[in-house]
Amino acid sequence: PMGSERMEMRKRQMSTTQETPGAAQAQHSTGSRGSNACCFCWCCCCSCSCLTVRNQDEERARRTSHELQAEGIPNCEESPAPTLEEVSAWAQSFDKLMLTPAGRNAFREFLRTEFSEENMLFWMACEELKQESNKSVIEEKARLIYEDYISILSPKEVSLDSRVREVINRNMLEPSQHTFDDAQLQIYTLMHRDSYPRFMNSAIYKDLLRSLSEKSIEA
């Protein structure tokens, strides 16, 4: 009986020894596949993620470019170079500055440095609206002005009080050339009182004045 038990134990040990490499090999193979699968999935996910981000960035760039083209806002108004007399007159009053395209261009350049260029853009859009006579064009331009400068969702929203906003909302029911008159006056006053004094002391104005003065002396 003892011999039989030893033989039985030996058979079990041999059986276990034979099974172990196979099991280990199977486990290694499974682990490798698992590792490869994880690696492949990670690479795939990473690749997809990178492609998604890259595609989103490209789409955003295309959309931004398209929106800028659709706006059609020129970098500056066409105007002849200002004379020394004109530039000197800008210091006399804000009205004289705003009367000339060159003055508006210089002031707009200054507003851009203060991140308030939307005030000038809004004022100019209102002036353009006043020149229209076609009803459908007026309605379309009024809608665009509202979306660009009045809507609280717009990044170019101008600062208006609640009373003026209520007036605009009423006027938008039947848009006309004068839908934004109150708002335009408020923004004009804001630029006059807030930005104009700083513009007169800015390097943009002083450098332009000095340059024209030097040219005048040389002439």
Confidence of residue 63 (pLDDT cuts 50, 70, 90): very low
Burial class (CB in 10 A: 0-12, 13-18, 19+), 23: exposed
| Residues 102 and 79: beta-carbon distance below 8 Å | yes
Q: Does 40 score more than 50 pLDDT?
A: no
How many residues are recorded in the chain?
Answer: 219
C-beta of residue 130 within 8 angstroms of C-beta of residue 178 = yes
**Containing H/E element for 4?**
helix 2-71
**What is the tens place of the pLDDT at every residue in 105-116?**
999 999 999 999
Residue of 132, 102, 34 whose CA lies nearest to 140: 132
Q: 154 falls in which pLDDT band (50, 70, 90)?
A: very high
- Domain borders along the chain are 84-218
Asked if pLDDT for residue 123 goes beyond 70, the answer is yes
pTM higher than the cut 0.75: no
Please give the average per-residue pLDDT across 70-75, as a whole number: 45
pLDDT higher than 80, residue 188: yes
Nearest to 141 by CA among 168, 173, 176: 176
Structure tokens at 213: 């003065």
Nearest CA to 180 out of 125, 131, 102 is that of 125
Tokens at 103, concatenated:
């003055």
Residue 79: its pLDDT value, please? 76
Structure tokens at 109: 């350049």
- 124-152 pLDDT, tens digit per residue, is 999 999 999 999 999 999 999 999 999 99
Q: Please give the helix or strand (H or E) that residue 132 lies within, else none.
A: none
CA Rg value for the chain = 37
Distance CA 91, CA 196 (A): 9
Q: Which fold has domain 84-218?
A: Regulator of G-protein Signalling 4; domain 2 (1.10.167)
Q: What is the DSSP letter of 148?
A: I
Residues of 102-127 as b/e, b for ≥16 C-beta within 10 angstroms? bbbbbbbbbbeeeebbbbbbbbbbbe
